[in-house]
Amino acid sequence: MTKWLRIVWLVSNFIVMTDVVYSQARKLKVTLTEPLVCPVGEYKLVFNDEFDGNVLDTSKWYTFYPYGPKSRPDSCSFCRTHISPNVYREANLELKSGLLVIRADRENDSWFGKEYEFTSGMVNSRQEFRTYSKYEIRCKLPKGSQQWPAFWVFGWSTEFDIFEFICKGPRNPEFAIHKWLKSECPNQKKVRRGGPCFSSQSGHIDFGIDFSEEFHVFTLEYEPHMIKYFIDGIMVRYIPRFYDLKGRPINLCSIPPGKYLTEPAYPNYGEPVQVIASQSICRNHKEKNPVYPNYMEIDYIRVYQKEVQPDLLRE
């Protein structure tokens, strides 16, 4: 079976159930008083980097998580380490032959007085996105199971994991959305310590493809009624926002007023989010001879919108 036929076969047998896998809470009852209508028209490119230059465009990207004060946004222990045993460094980012190459390596470094055994790299967009959008990356993933490459969108309580390959090698992506709340979660007893309040996760999926061998396009479309995941243009997961009162997903783009169930992990509209591409090192893995140095190669990152937010309007 060719890899594309295998994807189609897996989609036809899997996609109908992926909206409910690993959901942390029951659906919530809501009443729509006004019809919900999707944005119309074609997607317009509003942000992109084709990585065609000689150096990274730092007017577009942070190379760390910018959670410190404005005067020095990387001045926190978390900013260059996240939850990983590595330090994110500019030296691990290189533009080469039209690609952004992120190098993960076994080399000692320190950050905020703590020693780390590994180094790696990441980019976090300076631009924030505050409306329904399509996020896309074309990339080739690192080899081995000690790597944690991810392409994701984050801000305030909203997180879209467009893909994560979490310590199981380059064959098993996971797709998820999470809702983080600063105050106590309403479903506190079901939430692991330090985890999001609500999640909808696919679990690891084996498409029978080694994503470290060739470049692939990963896309997420965030719409008022549904979140869709694509690999190379084939939809591999969807998360509906609304269900009827019997729990059946509603796949319509225009939803009339009425009573519905809703997915509690669905993002709050309008929250500012940023695009992130990162390669981290796994703390726990079963690989006897991990590959170092190891590379994640990115051809482009693009963001599209149908109804373009004002600060992204182009001439």
User: Domain coordinates of the chain in residue numbers?
Assistant: 3-312
CB 43 within 8 A of CB 270: no
CB 121 within 8 A of CB 99: no
Cα torsion 96, 216, 233, 40 to 10°: value is: -40
Digit-by-digit pLDDT tens for the chain (315 residues) are 445 535 544 544 444 334 444 444 578 899 999 998 888 899 999 999 999 999 999 999 999 999 998 889 999 999 999 889 999 999 999 999 999 999 999 999 999 999 999 999 999 999 999 999 999 999 999 998 899 999 999 998 999 999 999 988 899 899 999 988 766 677 665 666 667 888 888 888 888 999 999 999 999 999 999 999 999 999 999 999 999 999 999 988 889 999 999 999 999 999 999 999 999 999 877 778 888 999 999 999 999 999 999 988 665
Residue 261 forms beta bridges with which residues? 29, 243
Residue 277 forms beta bridges with which residues? 123, 151
Single-letter residue type at 4: W
Predicted pLDDT of residue 129: 97
SS3 letters for the chain?
CCHHHHHHHHHHHHHHHCCCCCCCCCCEEEEECCCECCCCCCCEEEEEECCCCCCCCCCCEECCCCCCCCCCCCCCCCCCCCCCCEEECHHHEEEECCEEEEEEECCCEEECCEEECEEECEEEECCCECCCCEEEEEEECCCCCCEEEEEEEEECCEEEEEEECCCCCCCCCEEEEEECCCCCCCCHHHCCCCCCCEEEECCCCCCCCCCCCCCEEEEEEECCCEEEEEECCEEEEEEECEECCCCCECCCCCECCEEEEECCCCCCCCCCEEEEEEEEECCCCCCCCCCCCEEEEEEEEEEEECCCCHHHCCC
Spatial separation of the C-alpha atoms in residues 42 and 26, rounded to whole Å = 34
Cα torsion 14, 18, 22, 24 to 10°: value is: -160
Angle of CA points 16, 201, 185, to nearest 5°: 130
Predicted pLDDT of residue 14: 44
The reply to whether CATH 2.60.120.200 applies to domain 3-312 is: yes
Judge if the upstream peptide bond of residue 267 is cis by omega within 30 degrees of 0: no
Q: Please name which of 152, 174, 180, 301 lies closest in space to residue 237, comparing C-alpha atoms.
A: 174
Spatial separation of the C-alpha atoms in residues 139 and 121, rounded to whole Å = 15
The owner of tokens 């991810």 is 150
From residue 227, give the alpha-carbon distance in Å to each of 122, 222, 235. 25, 5, 11
- How close are the terminal C-alpha atoms of the chain, in Å? 47
- Tell how strand 118-120 and strand 86-88 pair up: parallel
